[in-house]
């Protein structure tokens, strides 16, 4: 009886090498399927079984969570075993039993930031002496989980050879010493990170890998070995790799024909898997000629991942892998759940890079003696950018921030505006915009803008008007008032005479334009009615003078005036 908990090495000599065409046909079908759907969706879970590191309940509910082992052992097909964002320590083999098809083990849903703590499964002794995760059920999924541990020098960390259709979605694995980190057939690895620190092969699978970063410090990153399958489950021989970084100290990618019933057809494109050693890892091995290289792969140099064995998977800001991946068929989110692409195209590897915001030089839209209206454009390059306008007097050592906000997550320039106030008149100022994106990268305007405020307006004196004197000129047929009126400047003078006893009657009214400040003579004719009135008795009046200058400032004054009776 074979120990089916270990990698089963089967040696079957092919009767007909013509099966290679069948393998290529399967590959084309797989590519077409991925083109229509980034990843085949999991069958809807029948129930969510909640767990916690200290859970001891049997209901596996949110109110009474169970342990991870209880969650898996008591699950039915299609269930989801949900982990909290904590550390689960496992000291025995975690087996997914046959009959639990489409079972999912997952961490908390949603988008993460790189600083967020996530769900972790730590395998410790005695689990290190056995296959850590043994999968016997078809369609098993790991989602949003970090796995740390080692299955020992002769074992496998995750063994999915006894079933088909296993998938890893947004999974990070750190393997400290297994022979093979993951082995499976008809599997899918997407938006995931696999790092083998000591072993032979990091990922030995058939199926598809896309949007992932896989490294092996001592062995091969990705291997498609046709001996690594169980013919009782199915002859899955094709492997499609898209949008992936793979680097191994011995081999970056290996395709080996072990003589089984099918040939290891492997295709990779839009990826960085250096074909020669010296550019990152040990190059590519394809002794049987079953490897097809796409036209959109990055060249061997410069390196897409600056230090592939250091454990850092985020791309440097100058990495050639940024915005050079393939489109929707290569994935719609990255390891953290952020949407792909963040830039103009997908990035190659497991994580999307948020580039520094692009900020324009500040423009001065308008200015006066005490304020300035400013504007700039900010392209957040996919991540939100918190920004502020900054100002200082020319030559001052420090900047002062004002008028800030946060942009959206787009990749097109947004116009932002600010008002600098109060400012000193006839003073030179320097302005710029500074922004910090959601990845903590800071940018500023490429150049400082300098402007000088206008001169302050001179104070405008108040308008002034005064009736200096008035006299009546009465003849046999006419009567006239002659007033001497003083004004504070050029403008318009109006003189009006009304009855001293009140009422609305106006005896006379005259308007005169004066060209300068000074005393001006203004004459107001009383007319025939006025002359007739003076023949009967004295006429008591109120003289009202008003003045409006060139700036529309105005003033008024009045005085009493009596014209004696004159026959």
pLDDT tens digits for 191-228? 999 999 999 999 999 999 999 999 999 999 999 987 77
User: According to the model, what pLDDT value does residue 24 have?
Assistant: 34
This prediction has a pTM of: 0.70
User: According to the model, what pLDDT value does residue 27 have?
Assistant: 38
User: According to the model, what pLDDT value does residue 231 have?
Assistant: 66
- How far apart CA 367 and CA 453 sit, in angstroms, is 7
Classify burial at 447, counting beta carbons within 10 Å of its beta carbon; exposed 0-12, middle 13-18, buried 19 or more.
exposed
- How far apart CA 70 and CA 237 sit, in angstroms, is 35
Q: Can you tell me whether residue 267 is helix, strand or coil? A: strand
Contact 199, 174 (CB under 8 A): no
User: According to the model, what pLDDT value does residue 15 have?
Assistant: 31
pLDDT in tens, 458-472: 887 889 999 999 999
Confidence of residue 477 (pLDDT cuts 50, 70, 90): confident
How many other CB atoms are found less than 10 A from the CB of residue 259? 14
- How far apart CA 94 and CA 127 sit, in angstroms, is 9
Confidence of residue 288 (pLDDT cuts 50, 70, 90): confident
Pick the closest to residue 179 from 6, 44, 357, 362 (CA basis).
6
pLDDT in tens, 416-460: 999 999 999 999 999 999 999 887 888 999 999 999 999 999 887
Is the pLDDT at 261 greater than 80, yes or no?
Answer: no
User: According to the model, what pLDDT value does residue 229 have?
Assistant: 67
User: According to the model, what pLDDT value does residue 230 have?
Assistant: 64
Contact 141, 178 (CB under 8 A): no
User: According to the model, what pLDDT value does residue 292 have?
Assistant: 92
User: According to the model, what pLDDT value does residue 22 have?
Assistant: 29
Q: Which helix (H) or strand (E) holds 225?
A: strand 220-225
Pick the closest to residue 179 from 153, 203, 159, 211 (CA basis).
153
User: pLDDT higher for 327 or 397?
Assistant: 397
Q: Can you tell me whether residue 416 is helix, strand or coil? A: strand
Terminal-residue alpha carbon distance, the chain: 150
Confidence of residue 473 (pLDDT cuts 50, 70, 90): very high
Q: What value does the mean pLDDT take over residues 291-318?
A: 90
Pick the closest to residue 61 from 50, 75, 69, 45 (CA basis).
50
For 426-476, give the DSSP string. Answer: T-EEEEEEEEEETTS-EEE-SS-EEEEPPPPPPPPPPP-EEEEEEEEEE-S
Domain architecture of the chain: domains with CATH: 19-330 (2.160.20), 358-452 (2.60.40.10), 465-563 (2.60.40.4070)
User: According to the model, what pLDDT value does residue 105 have?
Assistant: 98
Is the pLDDT at 17 greater than 70, yes or no?
Answer: no
Pick the closest to residue 10 from 248, 260, 232, 285 (CA basis).
260
Pick the closest to residue 229 from 202, 258, 208 (CA basis).
258
Q: Which helix (H) or strand (E) holds 542?
A: strand 539-549
Contact 550, 540 (CB under 8 A): no
- How far apart CA 214 and CA 220 sit, in angstroms, is 10
- How far apart CA 253 and CA 258 sit, in angstroms, is 16
CA diameter of the chain:
150
565: preceding bond cis by omega (within 30 degrees): no
Q: Give the burial string for 412-435 (b: 16+ CB within 10 Å, else e).
A: ebbebebebeebeeeeebbbbbbb
For 462-473, give the DSSP string. Answer: PP-EEEEEEEEE
For tokens 């006839």, what's the residue? 426
What are the E-state strand segments in 290-413? 291-293, 358-359, 363-367, 372-379, 385-393, 400-406
Is the pLDDT at 21 greater than 80, yes or no?
Answer: no
Q: What value does the mean pLDDT take over residues 352-377?
A: 95
% of the chain exceeding 90 in pLDDT: 68
- How far apart CA 308 and CA 202 sit, in angstroms, is 14
Is the pLDDT at 344 greater than 70, yes or no?
Answer: yes
């Amino acid at each position: 009886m074979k120990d089916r908990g270990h990698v089963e090495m089967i040696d079957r000599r092919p009767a007909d090498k013509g099966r290679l065409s069948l393998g290529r046909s399967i590959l084309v079908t797989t590519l077409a399927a991925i083109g229509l759907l980034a990843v085949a969706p999991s069958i809807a879970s029948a129930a969510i079984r909640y767990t916690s590191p200290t859970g001891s309940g049997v209901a596996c509910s949110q109110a009474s969570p169970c342990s991870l082992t209880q969650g898996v052992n008591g699950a039915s097909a299609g269930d989801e075993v949900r982990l909290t964002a904590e550390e689960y320590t496992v000291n025995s083999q975690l087996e997914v039993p046959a009959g639990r098809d489409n079972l999912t083990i997952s961490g908390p849903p949603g988008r993460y930031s790189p600083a967020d703590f996530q769900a972790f499964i730590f395998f410790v002794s005695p689990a290190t002496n056995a296959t850590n995760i043994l999968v016997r059920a078809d369609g098993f999924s790991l989602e949003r989980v970090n796995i740390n541990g080692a299955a020992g020098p002769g074992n496998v960390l995750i063994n999915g050879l006894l079933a088909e259709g296993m998938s890893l979605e947004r999974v990070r694995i750190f393997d400290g010493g297994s022979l093979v980190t993951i082995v499976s057939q008809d599997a899918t690895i997407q938006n995931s990170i696999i790092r083998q620190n000591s072993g032979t092969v990091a990922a030995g699978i058939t199926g598809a890998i896309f949007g992932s970063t896989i490294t092996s410090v001592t062995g091969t990153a990705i291997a498609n070995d046709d001996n690594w399958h169980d013919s009782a489950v199915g002859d899955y021989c094709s492997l499609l790799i898209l949008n992936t970084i793979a680097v191994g100290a011995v081999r970056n990618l290996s395709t080996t024909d072990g003589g089984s019933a099918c040939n290891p057809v492997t295709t990779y494109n839009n990826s960085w898997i250096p074909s020669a050693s010296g550019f990152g890892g040990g190059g590519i091995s394809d002794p049987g000629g079953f490897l097809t290289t796409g036209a959109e792969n990055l060249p061997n140099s410069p390196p897409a991942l600056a230090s592939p064995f250091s454990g850092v998977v985020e791309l440097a800001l100058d990495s050639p892998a940024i915005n050079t991946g393939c489109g929707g068929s290569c994935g719609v989110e990255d390891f953290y759940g952020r949407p792909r692409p963040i830039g103009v195209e997908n990035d190659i590897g497991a994580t999307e890079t948020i580039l520094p915001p692009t900020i324009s030089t500040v423009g001065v839209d308008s200015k006066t003696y005490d304020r300035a209206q400013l504007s700039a454009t900010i392209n957040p390059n996919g991540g939100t950018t918190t920004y502020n306008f900054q100002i200082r007097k020319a030559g001052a050592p420090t900047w002062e921030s004002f008028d800030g906000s946060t942009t959206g997550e787009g990749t097109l320039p947004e116009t932002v505006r600010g008002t600098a106030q109060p400012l000193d008149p006839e003073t030179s100022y320097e302005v710029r915009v500074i922004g910090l994106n959601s990845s903590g990268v800071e940018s500023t305007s490429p150049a400082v803008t300098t402007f000088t405020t206008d001169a302050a307006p001179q104070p405008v004196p108040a308008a002034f008007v005064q009736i200096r004197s008035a006299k009546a000129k009465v003849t046999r047929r006419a009567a006239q008032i002659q007033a001497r009126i003083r004004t504070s400047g050029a403008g318009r003078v109006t003189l009006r005479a009304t009855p001293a006893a009140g009422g609305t009657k106006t005896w006379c009214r005259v308007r005169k334009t004066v060209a300068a400040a000074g005393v001006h003579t203004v004459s107001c004719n009383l007319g025939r009615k006025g002359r007739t009135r003076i023949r009967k008795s004295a006429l008591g009046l109120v003289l009202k003078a008003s003045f409006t200058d060139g700036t529309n400032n105005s003033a008024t004054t009045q005085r009493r005036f009596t014209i004696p009776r004159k026959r």
